[in-house]
Amino acid sequence: MSLRNLKELTIIAKEAFSKMFLVAKSLCFLHVTNTHVFTVASLYGPSMLPTFNLTGDWALAERFSHKLGKVGAGDIVILKSPVEPRKIMTKRVIGVEGDSVTYVVEPKNSDRTETIVVPKGHIWVEGDNIYNSKDSRNFGAVPYGLLRGKMLWKIWPPKDFGYIGKKEQNS
């Protein structure tokens, strides 16, 4: 092997390492962004009808306001399920710690209501479709630590693209 071939191999190796390092930095940037700043959530299921469709909706969620205590009633959040920890859910915040929440216990069967005060460090969440949603009415108030983000924008389907604002709560 000549010196000339060795120099060419060295140049190729340096360029390959440089490209590999760029790819690694890009992947690290994407990981940090997805974990701590923004994430895209694929939504499915009937619990958030009519806000989201049964299948195929995508939304952009930010991941920092819940860490700063900036989640309030009317916000749509993503959270870990308190009963199935591997499952991520999308629900609307109905009340935060200290709020008094009145809810229909079994909307399919009766109009019986109960009122609770949301405990410290917890939130009360419900799906927009109360007739087909597993939410705080089933498993109680959710610890704040299970929150994973707050929905900002609906990005798919294109006809529904736009900001997801707070829904006014009935008082």
Residue 153 is part of a domain; what is its CATH number? 2.10.109.10
User: For the residues of 24-41, what is the DSSP string, one character each?
Assistant: HHHHHHHHHHHHHTEEEE
User: For the residues of 101-168, what is the DSSP string, one character each?
Assistant: EEEES-TTT---EEEEEPPTTEEEEE-S-GGG--SHHHH-SEEGGGEEEEEEEEEESGGG-EE--PPP
pTM of the predicted structure, to 2 decimals: 0.81
Under 8 Å CB-to-CB from 82, ≥6 apart: which residues? 139, 140, 142, 143, 146
Q: Is residue 3 part of a domain?
A: no
Helix (H) or strand (E) run with residue 19 in it? helix 3-36
Q: Is residue 16 part of a domain?
A: no
What residues make up the domain containing 48? 39-163
pLDDT digits (tens, 9 = 90+) for 15-32: 998 899 999 999 999 999
Q: Is residue 27 part of a domain?
A: no
Q: Is residue 1 part of a domain?
A: no
Give the per-residue pLDDT at 171.
45
Q: Residue 13 gets which letter from DSSP?
A: H
Q: Is residue 34 part of a domain?
A: no
What is the count of structural domains for the chain? 1
Q: Is residue 28 part of a domain?
A: no
pLDDT digits (tens, 9 = 90+) for 40-79: 999 989 999 998 988 889 999 999 888 888 899 999 999 9
Q: Is residue 26 part of a domain?
A: no
Measuring CA to CA, which residue among 134, 124, 146 is closest to residue 66?
146
Q: Is residue 101 part of a domain?
A: yes
Helix (H) or strand (E) run with residue 15 in it? helix 3-36
pLDDT digits (tens, 9 = 90+) for 93-138: 999 999 999 999 888 888 899 999 999 999 999 999 999 999 999 9
Catalytic residue numbers read 47, 91
Distance (Å, rounded) from C-alpha 19 to C-alpha 8?
A: 17
